[in-house]
């Protein structure tokens, strides 16, 4: 079977709900649209104090959408609900909401019956500017900054080993910074 779903239980859950195509692949567009409806019904956050209560973890979302928590299904849900503009759920939300995530705590009961608190990525949709700033834009800006610092450290190491690289590297870093700024501000072709 061409689909990468290994678990028989996960494959059965997808098949029973009509999410396996005749070509034996997961119908991500259909599943994504249905998951977007779940978000619109149950996981809209309009007040920051309700993030922990309204956000849903991947395991919870699998149970809600497919009746089963399974590692294969969690992988599919992670892809469908990635906060980026290319995910199926994000594409299905052209209605004033943005899919984002925030850390949420859940109590897990261990095999011996002992409860422990664990932190997970909780996904939710919102149009609240402060929530989008804190949980959608700021994390991406932080990743961009970390990437820039890593590039600088890697460039410094290369220059330390090959000093003749310094003038070329400085020009490339300056040009790259300008391209990144233009791309971030939507000013012309950043290429």
Q: Tell whether 23 and 113 lie within a shared domain.
A: yes
Output the pTM of the full model.
0.84
Q: Residue 28 falls within a domain, yes or no? A: yes
Q: Tell whether 62 and 95 lie within a shared domain.
A: yes
pLDDT at residue number 5: 79
Residue 191 pLDDT > 90: no
Rounded CA separation 99/84 (Å): 8
Q: Tell whether 96 and 156 lie within a shared domain.
A: no
Pair type for strands 115-126 and 98-109: antiparallel
Residue 136 pLDDT > 90: yes
- Collapsed DSSP state (helix, strand, coil) of residue 123: strand
Q: Tell whether 105 and 151 lie within a shared domain.
A: no
pLDDT at residue number 188: 66
Q: Name the domain boundary from 101, 126, 151.
A: 126
Residue 2 pLDDT > 80: no
Average pLDDT, the chain: 92
Residue that is written with structure tokens 């149970």 in the block: 63
Rounded CA separation 96/121 (Å): 22
| Each residue's pLDDT tens digit, 58-114 | 999 999 999 999 999 999 999 999 988 899 999 999 889 999 999 999 998 888 989
Residue 1 pLDDT > 70: no
For 25, the domain range is 8-126
Q: Tell whether 147 and 59 lie within a shared domain.
A: no
Q: Residue 113 falls within a domain, yes or no? A: yes
Residue 3 pLDDT > 80: no
Instruction: Please report the DSSP string for 66-122 in residue order.
Output: HS---HHHHHHHHHHT-SSTTSHHHHT-TTT-EEEEEEEEEEEE-TTS-EEEEEEEE
The pLDDT of 39-66, averaged and rounded, is 93
Q: Residue 77 falls within a domain, yes or no? A: yes
Q: Tell whether 120 and 166 lie within a shared domain.
A: no
Q: Tell whether 26 and 56 lie within a shared domain.
A: yes
| Each residue's pLDDT tens digit, 141-188 | 999 999 999 999 999 999 999 999 999 999 999 999 999 999 999 886
Rounded CA separation 151/44 (Å): 37
Q: Tell whether 20 and 106 lie within a shared domain.
A: yes
Q: Which helix (H) or strand (E) holds 143?
A: helix 138-161
Domain count, the chain: 2
What are the φ/ψ torsions at residue 33 (nearest 5 degrees)?
-65, -40
């Amino acid at each position: 079977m061409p689909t990468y779903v290994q678990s028989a239980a996960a494959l059965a859950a997808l098949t029973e709900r009509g999410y396996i195509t005749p070509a034996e692949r997961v119908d991500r567009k259909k599943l994504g649209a249905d998951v977007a409806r779940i978000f619109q019904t149950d996981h809209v956050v309009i007040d920051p104090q309700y993030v922990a209560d309204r956000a849903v973890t991947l395991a919870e979302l699998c149970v809600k959408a497919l009746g089963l928590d399974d590692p294969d299904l969690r992988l599919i849900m992670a892809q469908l609900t990635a906060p980026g503009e290319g995910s199926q759920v994000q594409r299905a939300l052209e209605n004033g909401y943005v899919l984002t995530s925030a850390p949420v705590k859940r109590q897990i009961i261990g095999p011996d019956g002992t409860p422990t608190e664990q932190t997970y990525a909780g996904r939710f949709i919102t149009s609240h500017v402060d929530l989008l700033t804190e949980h959608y834009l700021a994390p991406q800006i932080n990743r961009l900054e970390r990437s820039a610092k890593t590039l600088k450290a890697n460039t410094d190491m290369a220059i330390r080993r090959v000093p003749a690289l310094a003038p070329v590297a400085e020009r490339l870093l300056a040009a790259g910074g300008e391209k990144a700024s233009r791309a971030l501000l939507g000013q012309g072709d950043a290429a």
